[in-house]
Structures are given as C-alpha cells and as structure tokens.
Amino acid sequence: MGNDNFRVVVIGAGMSGILAGIKLQEAGYGNISIYEKAVRIGGTWRENTYPGLTCDVPSHHYTYSFERNPDWTRHLPPGGEIQAYFEDVTSKYKVDRLIRFNSEIVEASFRDGAWDLELSDGSTDRANVVIAATGVLHHPGTPDISGMDSFEGALFHSARWDHSVALEGKRVGVIGMGSTGVQIISALSERGVDVRHFVRNPQWIMPVENGYFTEEERAAFRADPQALDDAMDFAGYTEAVEAYTHALTNPDSEMALTMSQACRDNLEQNVHDPALREQLLPDHQPFCKRLIFSPDYYQAIQRDNARLVRSDIERIENNGIRTRDGKLHELDVIVLATGFRADQFMRPMRIHGRDGMDLETLWARRPTAYLAVTMPGFPNFFMLNGPNGPVGNFSLIEIAEQQWRYIAQLLAKLRSGECSEVEPSREALEEFDRERIEAAKKTIWYTGGCQSWYLDAEGIPASWPWSFSRFVDAMSEPHWEHFRLRKGESG
C-alpha cells in the first residue's frame, strides 16, 4: 500500500527515471511524479537518432535485469530498438501514468524539511525526496569554430539529427572521431553517401562482431527464458567486465597489454594503405579515451565514397570547411559529432540545499558526490548516474540498478519515519573524493596522456577509478556512520 503523504519526485524519464518509477511503485510508494522536460521518454535514446546509432554493450545485457528482451535483432542493440524497448517497459510497468511531460524543473530548494520545486512554466511542487535521473551526456558540445554561422548548407549536432535533410547525392562532412562519429561514418559510407571525416586526433578501435539474431533464435528466447539466460552467459560477461576494469585501472597489466594489442592489430591488419594507416594512428595509448568498439569503421573509411581529413579545421565558410593546409573541402552538410558537456549533469537546474548551500558552490571545483549518489548539504536528494560513477564501456542500466539498491535503503529510513532527513557527512564526501582522486591518477585515463570527456577541468578522471565489483560492493549497503540522519518536522 502506498503512503500518500510521502512524496517522491523523479527528474527525467530516461532509462534511470523509468527504473526509479518502476522500483518506487513496486515498493509501494504511492505519491510519485516523474518530471520530463521533453514530450517523450527515452533520454539519450530519444535525442540521438543519427544513422548507425548503436549501443556497444551486448544487446541482452543492455536491459533491466527484471525485463529481458528476447526480440533484439542484432548482437549490439540499434538505437531505435532501445527506444522502443524503453517505451514498452514504460507502458508495461505503468510508469507512463506517473510522467508529466513538457515539464522542466528549473529550481529545487530544500526548505523546512522538504524540497520546493519550480518549473519553467512557473508552477511549483513540494516533495520529501528528489531523485535526479537527468543523465550524463545530454548537453551537446558545440565547438567554437569560426564561421559556423556562415555555412549555407545544413549544419547540426549528432544529437540533434535533422532527418529532413536528404544525404544521398550530397557531400557530407562529419567532425569528430568518438564513438558517435565512427558510427555515423560507418553507416553513411555503407549507404554510398559521399562522406569526409574530419579527425583532429584519431582514436583506437577495438574490433567487435555485430551479427544478427535469427528469427529461430528470437523465437527460442521468447519461448524459454532459460535459453535467453544461457545465451547471456552471465559468468563470462561479468568476467569480461572485471577484466576490462582491471585493464583500465592497471595500465601495465597483462590484460591491458592484450587488449591494447587487439586495437593495434585491428589497425595494422585492416587498413591496407600505409599512408592512411599512419594517419589513423593515435598518439596515445589504447583505453586512454573511452574505447571505441566498431565492426566496420576501417572498412568504411577505405571505401571510394569516404575520405579522411587529418588537417585541422581553420574555419567554416559558406560552402565548406577550410583546413589549416589552406584547402577548402566543399560540403552540403556538416555534422558535429563533437560530443557532450559531460560535467553538466542536472545543470542548468538551480539547486539550493540546506542553510544556503547551493550546487554551484559544492561543485565549484568539480562535480562530486559521495559514492556518486548523495551530497552533504542536500538532504533527501539522490542521483542516478550522477558524477564519479562508473562510465566505462558497460551498461549504465546495470549501474543505475546497483545505485537503486543503495538509494532504496536510504528511502526506506525516510518512509518508515526512522528519520526525516538523510544526507552524507561532509567528511565522508571528502574522504571518498580524496581516495577517488588518488586512485584516478593511477588509471590509464590519467597516465595515458590524452584529453577526453572523462577528465574534469583539472584533468582528473571523473569516473569510478576502481573495479566494477568494488562498485557493486559499495552499493550493497550504506555505511550508516557516513550519514547524518535527522528527525524533525517535514512536509
């Protein structure tokens, strides 16, 4: 039975917010709203619709643990199928009835034991608990390239794909060689579109296979959940995730060397022209940036309709991109696959905690949170996929589920009335941050010597710097001595 006086507000109806909606209902919370600024659920998977969009986590591992999907068509899930999966889950678990679309929260203030919320349309709400499920990569990073406004063709960011622009017969320039740029080039090259890839720093690519599930296999998964579980090979997957995090956190380990060699062999064996190979050779160690998994980029860039441009961009002109070597690359379309502002999280929301504390003060140096979930001075405010959580090449769904196990225990104390406010101590955050930063400096993201969105403004990797199993352990039960539980009037 729900306790209708205890109100929980979730911000964001992407993967994490939907999870929160399901888990809260399951646990009997009866007074829940999910505020979503857009008009559809889906977060990342709603906003990214570019050609070739694929998640690099194996399909059957990119689902909620409690809602497997026998119907994936590919070994790596295509973006459209992921969005459809989340829409199905939202309706099956009746999360849709909790969501208020077109509702952007602009300010949250903790006053007299509860959170006052203000929306962009001026309306307000008040809740005992706020769960920020606002995502990690959702503010497009638009580069500051001179002349961008002068371009007379179509120009858009990869996360704002303009599907009204037909690409066939056009000259398309794609800027950026992260996972996004690589997937776009692969897809457009295969379609025969005339593409030029503007790459400032080439990245390492791990080969990966991306086959199809046959109709027979999908029927077998539908008929027998055990067949699906067997195919998922949990033991093998967990071992692979551990090995991967081991390689990241121990750059000299045998595993790191083996995986690095796989990237080097991929380049060596699959790019035939030595001059092109040289141009695609990164100047940093593999793994130093988030590793790109691609089955076909090297084939794609070697097609006659694709071209790599390694000279840096000087400016954008009305009819194309001028590179530093003086050459003008005439284009009809420019795609900015230039990434995201990964330090934003729930910003630009203004968040005021207890006693005048505000988020911008706490985060003046870097986004930070105790165990990635809670912050001192912000009672009853919890984050899913907040700062300093694991963001390697693993499933953020699994990470959100682990974090939920932890948050559920904090919530239970509030709902039972054992306390009315829960927040970590400042010392707990400081100690966590100290250890985290020390460990982060030993990871390949730091020692490998390259720029990436994993690094904060001071060049410190912002991600979880330990093994995945350490994260699972940390999420299993709160260390209550690190928390302040207060009892008082709320509501």
Residues binding ligand NAP (CB under 6 A):
54-56, 137, 143, 145, 175-181, 183, 200-201, 290, 313, 337-340, 451, 453
Q: Which is nearer to ligand NAP, 185 or 228 (CB)?
A: 185
415, 3 Cβ separation under 8 angstroms: yes
- The least CB distance from residue 397 to ligand NAP, in Å, is 12
- The least CB distance from residue 293 to ligand NAP, in Å, is 7
- The least CB distance from residue 308 to ligand NAP, in Å, is 13
Spatial separation of the C-alpha atoms in residues 251 and 62, rounded to whole Å: 27
Which string of b and e fits 22-61 if b means at least 16 CB within 10 Å?
bbbbeeebeebbbbbbbebbbbbbbbbbbbbbbbbbbbbb
- The least CB distance from residue 356 to ligand NAP, in Å, is 35
- The least CB distance from residue 56 to ligand NAP, in Å, is 4
Kindly tell me the sign of the dihedral angle through the C-alpha atoms of 53, 234, 397, 368.
negative
Spatial separation of the C-alpha atoms in residues 441 and 455, rounded to whole Å: 11
Q: Which is nearer to ligand NAP, 3 or 344 (CB)?
A: 344
Residue nearest to ligand NAP (CB): 178
Q: Which is nearer to ligand NAP, 205 or 437 (CB)?
A: 205
**Six-digit token pair at 234?**
């949990």
- The least CB distance from residue 158 to ligand NAP, in Å, is 6
Q: Which is nearer to ligand NAP, 6 or 204 (CB)?
A: 204
Q: Which is nearer to ligand NAP, 137 or 172 (CB)?
A: 137
Long-range contacts, 367-372 (Cβ 8 Å, 24+) = 367/343, 367/456, 367/462, 368/429, 368/433, 369/429, 370/424, 370/428, 370/429, 370/432, 370/482, 371/406, 371/424, 371/432, 371/474, 371/475, 372/403, 372/464
Q: Which is nearer to ligand NAP, 162 or 418 (CB)?
A: 162
Which string of b and e fits 260-294 if b means at least 16 CB within 10 Å?
beebeebbeebbeeeebeeebebebbbbbbbbbbb
- The least CB distance from residue 160 to ligand NAP, in Å, is 12
Element (H, E) at 127: strand 124-127
Q: Which is nearer to ligand NAP, 453 or 466 (CB)?
A: 453
